[in-house]
């Protein structure tokens, strides 16, 4: 199979390229090449998707399948479809569960209401003021894919993606924190947690391209109580840890934020998004998505954390000083 990965130099795109190369496929990664190197064995073609004609360097090449991981740009998706959509047998678009409009109510499946589509290009820094932007752009991008390639489309609404090369620090905060041992602040909550290791997601996406799997799926592992997951991470890390439950109201009073960002407890969801991590993984699992054991997920995340440096400034979580302040206030 000849595979075009639109991206391929970081996290999901790079993992897909690496998996496809491992299986013996001919892989081309079309990217600026600024985020990192492509996987060994893949070929990088430098493109600038911000440019109206940015895909010209791969124009005329023929591919059996395309994987597009465009994060926050409808124009990128539309230009790629115009360039290749009419002559590619299988098209994967990596979307997001952030596309759903009502994360505060129990989900029923991929037919749940979506955010109003927005056909624009955003930037990560825009999301603080406009948190629905990411999901709304994904909805518009999904619509474009379905309009252009129809029943050749494989749309993956990914949940929390974790593992090697994760740039967001959310899942990784927990094994890194558990590795220090001692009293660990956790939210006293009944919310669920879901995740998928990037290596398992990449394997599933490659499987789908090989086998012609199409449709719309929530690309995520089974849901479980967040506190069970945190207990499992502590057990796998193997340090002497005491999980100290902090009431959600107290955390809010102390200025601790949910989910991500500075001074946060990652994976803790506010009431407005209580069911964001309660999606039904069964349809994806039935098509071959195979989540690895927690011990392997934790090992991969912790190795990545140690590579980056456990004492670095993080994208998400509490610093040791902040955690001590919370513990003292409980």
| Three-state DSSP class for residue 137 | helix
Half-sphere exposure of 45 (CA within 13 A, CB side): 16
Residue 318's domain comprises: 170-193+224-276+293-329
- Residue the block writes with tokens 């098209």: 91
The per-residue pLDDT for range 276-307, each reduced to its tens digit, is 999 999 999 999 999 999 999 999 999 999 99
Q: How far apart are CA 150 and CA 143, in angstroms?
A: 10
The per-residue pLDDT for range 184-238, each reduced to its tens digit, is 999 999 999 999 999 999 999 999 999 999 999 999 999 999 999 999 999 999 9
Last residue of a domain, one of 158, 183, 211: 158
State whether 6 and 154 are in the same domain.
Answer: yes
State whether 184 and 123 are in the same domain.
Answer: no
The pLDDT, as a whole number, for residue 178 is 97
The pLDDT, as a whole number, for residue 76 is 96
CB neighbour class for 45 (10 Å; exposed up to 12, middle 13-18, buried from 19): middle
Q: Provide the number of structural domains found in the chain.
A: 2
Output the DSSP codes for 43-90: EEEE--TTSTTTTGGGTT---SEEEE---SBHHHHHHHHHHHGGG-SE
- In 3D space, the residue among 110, 301, 284 whose CA is nearest the CA of residue 199 turns out to be 301
Position 128 pLDDT exceeds 90: no
- Residue the block writes with tokens 């629905």: 132
Q: How far is CA 300 from CA 146, 186, 225, 270, 316, in A?
A: 34, 22, 22, 28, 18
CATH number of the domain to which 53 belongs: 3.40.50.720
Does some domain include residue 284?
no
The per-residue pLDDT for range 134-186, each reduced to its tens digit, is 999 999 999 999 999 999 999 999 999 999 999 999 999 999 999 999 999 99
State whether 141 and 182 are in the same domain.
Answer: no
State whether 148 and 251 are in the same domain.
Answer: no
Does some domain include residue 85?
yes
Strand partners, 27: 3
Strand partners, 261: 316
pTM for this entry: 0.96
Q: What are the structure tokens assigned to 177, written together?
A: 């924190």
| Three-state DSSP class for residue 147 | helix
């Amino acid at each position: 199979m000849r595979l075009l990965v639109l991206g391929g130099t970081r996290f999901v795109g790079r993992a897909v390229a690496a998996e496809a190369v491992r299986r013996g496929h001919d892989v081309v990664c079309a990217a600026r090449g600024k985020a990192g190197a492509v996987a060994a064995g893949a070929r990088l073609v430098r493109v600038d998707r911000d440019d109206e004609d940015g895909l010209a360097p791969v124009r005329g090449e023929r591919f059996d399948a395309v994987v597009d991981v465009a994060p926050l740009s409808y124009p990128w998706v539309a230009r790629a479809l115009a360039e290749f959509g009419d002559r590619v047998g299988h098209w994967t678009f990596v979307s997001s569960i952030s596309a759903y409009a009502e994360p505060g109510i129990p989900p029923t499946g991929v037919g749940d209401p979506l955010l109003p589509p927005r056909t624009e290009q955003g930037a990560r820094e825009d999301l603080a003021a406009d948190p629905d932007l990411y999901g709304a752009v994904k909805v518009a991008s999904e619509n474009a894919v379905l309009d252009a390639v129809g029943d050749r489309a494989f749309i993956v609404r990914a949940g929390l993606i974790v593992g090697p090369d994760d740039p967001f620090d959310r899942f990784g905060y927990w094994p890194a924190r558990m590795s220090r041992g001692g009293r660990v602040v956790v939210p006293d909550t009944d919310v669920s947690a879901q995740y998928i290791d990037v290596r398992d997601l990449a394997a599933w996406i490659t499987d789908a391209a090989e086998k012609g799997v199409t449709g719309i799926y929530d690309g995520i592992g089974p849901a479980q109580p967040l506190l069970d997951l945190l207990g499992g991470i502590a057990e796998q890390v193997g340090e002497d840890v005491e999980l100290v439950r902090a009431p959600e109201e107290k955390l809010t009073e102390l200025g601790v934020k949910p989910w991500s960002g500075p001074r946060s407890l990652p994976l803790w969801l506010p009431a407005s998004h209580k069911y964001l991590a309660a999606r039904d993984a069964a349809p994806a699992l039935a098509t071959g998505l195979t989540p690895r054991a927690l011990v392997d997920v934790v090992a991969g995340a912790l190795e990545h954390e140690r590579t980056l440096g456990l004492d670095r400034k993080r994208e998400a979580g509490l610093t040791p000083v902040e955690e001590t302040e919370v513990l003292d206030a409980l």
